[in-house]
Structure 1
Amino acid sequence: MDFSRPSFSPWRWLTLVASLLTCGICQASGQIFISPDSLLGVEKYRTILTLENVPEDVLEYSWYRGKDNSTENMIFSYKPPNTRHPGPSYSGRENVTRAGSLVVRMSAVNDTGYYTVEVDTSNETQRATGWLQIVNGPDYVSLWTQPYFFAGVLTADIGSSVQLECNCFSKPEPRYHWIHNGSFLSIPENNMTLPSLSWEQMGSYRCVVENPETQLTFYRDVTIQPPRPPLPTVNRELYIPGPLVIFLILLTSLGGAFVCRVLVYSLFQSCSRGKTCHKCPWQTN
């Protein structure tokens, strides 16, 4: 977007026409003037107050905040080719080009106001004053929904009520547009209500916010989709097939018989080796 020629509201056009008439008189008489096209800036962007009808034998350019050239109002002075001096009203964002134009970096809304330039030549001193208007584009757009959305997705049942509301701060008041699945909706308000959600109303929604003067646009997206079907349940009960049960019973039985044999054999060996064994369980008197 070309910010050197932004769009204007009707009242700005009236102001511009008046400035052009005044500047036309200045141009006819050879006087310097501030270009009307440069008297509208955008917040957080660079603004250049451009000088027109500048003489060739300029000794010094001096820019002031306000209508007068008092010392405390001086922003910056520049003596060609390389001498620059900041003044008391210097904020650290201003500079003067070789052509005498004032550059304001990262323009702020409170930069709005009158600016005066004084041009000294070898023969005379000329002055020009202009009103700079700084407007802000919608730099942040918030989207509120009911039900609430997460990670750009709003989950809602068919037949339920859904509310979408888009908000931002902008001067002048912004314009709102809604887009559903790529198609514009005839809803100029910042909020939209779907009282009974249908399948056709599912999909992606975009809220577009536009500054009518600067034509800056920002947007937020949300997708409405039905709930996901529940996952199949997993039966976690322990199941042992019949053959395995029989095998375990046999294994247990054989294991018990083997243990008994081992115990009897150990007892027999103990009694056989011991000469002091007077009586074993199986011996008789």
Structure 2
Amino acid sequence: MDLPRTRHNPWRGLFLVAGLVACSLCPASAQIYINPEFLKWFVGEESELIVMDMPKVVTDISWHRGTQPSEDTRIISYQPPSKTWAPGPEYNSRMNVTSYGNLYFSRAEWGDTGHYTVRVATDREKQTATALFQVGEPSGKPGLSLNATSVAEYLDPVLATCHTDATKVLWHVNSRLVSSNDQMTLSPDNKTLTLHWVRRYDSVQCQIVNFKDEVQRSELIVLSVTYGPYDVSLWSKPQNVFDTIGAEIGSKVEINCTTLSCWPSPKYRWTHNGAPLSYSGHSITLWSLTKEQLGRYRCVLENPATGLSLYREVIVDRPRDSLQADSSFHLSGYFSGVLIVLTFLGGVSLCGLLAFKLTQLCSARRNPVLQVPTSDL
């Protein structure tokens, strides 16, 4: 017996091919994921896990605690077609699913930290996405303290401490980010910075990066640095030349001693020919110069804060032309006196010698001596 043959429809094959072509042109749904920019929250904050690339037509959205979605780990589910919610075993009153499919927390708590998985179902497929949700304690502005309020330049070390509970601490010296080097050392937890030496106008500041990767900085502290003296300048009236002041007896003499590289201001001491003077300022004035005031003057600058001291010396003497005039006068008078005495003594000696010779000659003439030849004896 022959089986009945199926009647052939020529349009059937065309419809089948068209359907396959149309399906191949339909774009596949994008893979959903949880926005990574909103995964860290502080305790007590209102927070939300946001689903990205959500399909347009969804039949069911369910959120789960952990990485494996199941009925035991379900927090809550939402059916958009009926707009109904169904709490699960992990549900609590602070959680809910929004109409956009996001998991909402009215107040985040420490215990909420962990992995969360969302499962989205459509008529054609099911997709899942997992993310780590973190809840941390907010970090306040860090505090900064130093172990010394005043230090000497290039001499004293400084220990700076950043007071914070944050785990990521950075340091800025003179507004530049620093690390351990020859001048400074950071502790293993980066919460203390040791400056082995400092310079004037140095500033210190610590910076933290909190749980949410937000940056906060402490107050900026400019160090109180003492320094110097490193130089001494001396000027006078009359003007000194090669550290010598030429001044006439009875004239006025001013000597000033200063420095531009000292903090705090230095203390001054003066000596005259090694003997201390009562002057304590940066200048002295000799109102009417006397011979006793001629000589070597020393200005000493001392900084008790750094323990450093410097000095500068100057000689007060009469001008050279006056000295030469006086010297020529005294020398000519002296030699004149000596010459007179020598002349007088020489004259007396010469006269005595001549008198002695004349006496001998006269005596010889009065008493002649007869000389007898030896052959007659």
TM-score, normalization by structure 1? 0.50
TM-score, normalization by structure 2? 0.39
Structure 1 or 2, whichever has the larger Rg, is 2
